[in-house]
Chain A
Amino acid sequence: MSVSVTCLRTFGRILVPFTLHRRRRNVYSTILQRYMASKIPTVSYPNKENTPPPEQLELDRWKTTMKSSMQEEGVSTVSNNKDEDAVAATRELIEMWRLLGKEVPEHITEEELKTIMECSSKSSKKKYLKFLYVKEKLKKAKQRKKEMKAVAKEEAKKAKLLETTEEDEQRNFLFLRLWDRNMNIAMGWKGAQAMQFGQPLVFDMAYDNYMNSKEMQNTVSQLLESEGWNRRNVDPFHIHFCNLKVDSAYHRELVKRYGEKWDKLLLTATEKSHVDLFPKDSIIYLTADSPNVMTTFKHDKIYVIGSFVDKNMQPGTSLAKAKRLNLATECLPLDKYLQWEIGTKNLTLDQMMRILLCLKNTGNWEEALKFVPRRKHTGYLEISQHSQELVNRLKKTKSFNSFPKVNAHRKCGLNEKI
């Protein structure tokens, strides 16, 4: 393979100058003709202050082609409508940005264009365009993969046909291949059990006002994922969607994503608040801002998770909610078990769900905190070995919890690392 390539390359090296020369000569002659024929006012080239080198003439020649090609471009139809004008201008702008190699999508729909025009600032426009660009790229890659797969499948099929034409033997099976369906049915049974006897787990849906549409979409994706993890577990929770107002943003998005399955989900969706459904003293609101650290998973408590993706930095929102209703709060003991590196201690909803499921089944923190993203921490703290350090650390965190100035906290983390 490599041999052939080098071969080609040397070939090319010989060929290129010839072809180029010839082509250029052609080009120049056509250019000259065009140049004579065109009626554009010729721009006089002022002489450079430095004496023009002999190839100067050649250097400027490309300009004439560039200019003369105007004649071939179609003249744009001028629209009188101002709105339409703006739309067209935006479209052209995006096209020019694409020519410049900026991250903008190739194709754009009318609605997307409208969204862009509604963006208030240039940076928000660019941000949205980049989002569309990445989306388009992913879609294309997926499409390509799909095609490749189809081709491979086709070939495999052909090969198989060639190989096993006559020996189509009959074999004995115990089961028909209906695994997926059986799995679903089994999960449905378990879900029904959980609805009757399972431990409640509440998702608090009272955050619609704190999120923009993108965060809302992310939230619902995470809710879907959490529900999926719960469904597959040996001993699922009985999920409650509390404060879920019909026709709120949450509700619309959930119904859109689940489709007709929404009404058959084995969970409780209610407009009521969790304080109305359960006794107040058994509710524990989970929030990373809580001063209290969760030590063990209690099977008689009702844990509440706020379904809230916060990209706009509104710290303390969920803690404020719990404070208002006078509920107990807890946070995961991330600092106690993990050597935290970067990122917020807010975990995604599905991570929370998996951690809680694991705790519920095993009660082992190390096992459960496997679901914390690996990039956020450098490793587990060895508790037996550094027990002394742990005691000190606990003391420290305790005193710092009551004095949550970020500086102090960060400093403490640094000290320990060295």
Chain B
Amino acid sequence: MYGDTANKLILDAKRSANLSEIPLYQSNLINLIIKETNELNKDAQYLAELHQLKQEENSEELTEEDEKISQCQEFVTHLSMRRNKRCLLAYEKLRADKLVEFTWLNIDPISESDESNATTGTAAGTSTSGGGNSKTQNIPYSDSIYNNYTTKVALDNLSHAEQDFLKNYQDLLVDYKSNFPDIDLSGDLEPPTNIFIDVRVLKDGGEVQTEYGCFNLIKDSQFYVRKSDVERLIQQGYLEEI
């Protein structure tokens, strides 16, 4: 039946709706759906031509029943095409939303979390790993807010259009944020409670320069610091305990 492949796609989207990462782009299914839609389109055109021909040839013989049949055929083909379109759009929208979520979390999708930070790790995570193949993040978000939140994106799982979208959206976000340089728009969403907090270092980060001073991150050491200084580091998983 028409629309079965689209249904499969939607089931896949539903399954991945609550995942914290974006699964592989279903290019096979999508190609199948597009092929099906193309065929439907051909059908529709053929039906329209046929109808016209019949009308021209013997307009007086054209009974009401014939008219009804051709109308029904065209209508159903169009409905099938529309259904396919809806399913494709729903799938893409879900993935785009996940990418948007991820972008707002402000994790750099190019930086590798483990290897590069020992040498050049900065609070902003500006280290680059030379455009390697597997660009995956794994940041431990223990906060309850980030349940079901997209915290991992493997660029290999995205289609080309999605990769472009991600890049452009990041640019857009940077543009937007530069309008309000004093506010960290992608910062923590918890309301502030304490000004000074105790933090414990979870993993070695070497010398880390924050905006307000220098820390030497040695594993299992503890600091008593201003919360606003270390918020980014907590978000990145270097520090714990508020």
Is this pair of chains taken from one and the same complex? no
**CB within 8 Å of A: which residues of B?**
none
**CB within 8 Å of B: which residues of A?**
none
